[in-house]
Amino acid sequence: MHGLFGSKKNNRTISKVLARDLGRHIYAVDLRNHGDSPHDQRHDYLAMAADVADFICQHGLKEPTLIGHSMGAKTAMVLALQEPDLVANMVAVDNAPVDARLSSEFPRYIQGMKKIDEAGVTRQTEADRILEDYEKNFTIRQFLLGNLHRPHGSSTQKFRVPLHILGKALDHMGDFPFMGSGETRFAKPSLFIRGTQSKYVPDEVIPLIGQLFPRFELASIDASHWVIAEKPEEFRQAVVQFLEPKE
């Protein structure tokens, strides 16, 4: 499960590698309002977790592992806590089960992407020039521009993601619907992978992770929030080691 503004395309390469190494089927999914999935006015973690639960049931998956990055990580956590019998274990990548405000760059991204939609661009290079005013990092711009497509019969490119829906949802994307009350816990194995250059999983939230996910392991990788893209081999090793049968 990808993060905000991502899609299943982001995880295509790492999915093939994990399928090879683990000898398991890997399903890369588009969460609602992203990629090829339907658009819906409701965009929150309870709704996304319910979508993934439906996907698991529709495909008859038995004891799957949930792997999610960022928004996908919180979706995985919510589903594991809500329906623990549906999953075997979970890997959460650079996010934690806490309420935290989203970084200010996300509203800025929405602004820039809306500007591109209004400009009626025909080439990605035009879109990139506009987005440069909102994000200096070329790699992040390319990630965001991966959502551009040319609608059938149109000469201009538009964003596939519904910017108005995601813009309204931003205030709640940092929320987490379960807090450490002691009643709701996921008692199966879980792995939390964090980027040491990222602020999403600071040391102070580790005790809270333990309250909700008492059998968790922690892997720290020298990377920013974009752990999988920056350090795919370290990520692969951490996941394979976690999922390999224990002695």
**Catalytic residue list contains 225:** yes
How open is the CA angle 209-54-39, to the nearest 5 degrees?
95
Task: Using the CB atoms, write b or e for 25-43: b if 16+ within 10 Å.
Answer: ebbbbbbbbbbebeeeeeb
User: Exactly one of 2, 43, 69, 70 is catalytic; which is it?
Assistant: 70
Q: Is residue 184 very low, low, confident or very high in pLDDT (cuts 50, 70, 90)? A: confident
Q: What is the pLDDT averaged over residues 192-204? A: 95
Residues 24-38 have pLDDT tens digits of: 999 999 999 999 999
Q: pTM (2 decimals)?
A: 0.94
Catalytic residue status for 2: no
Give tens-digit pLDDT for 32-67.
Answer: 999 999 999 999 999 999 999 999 999 999 999 999
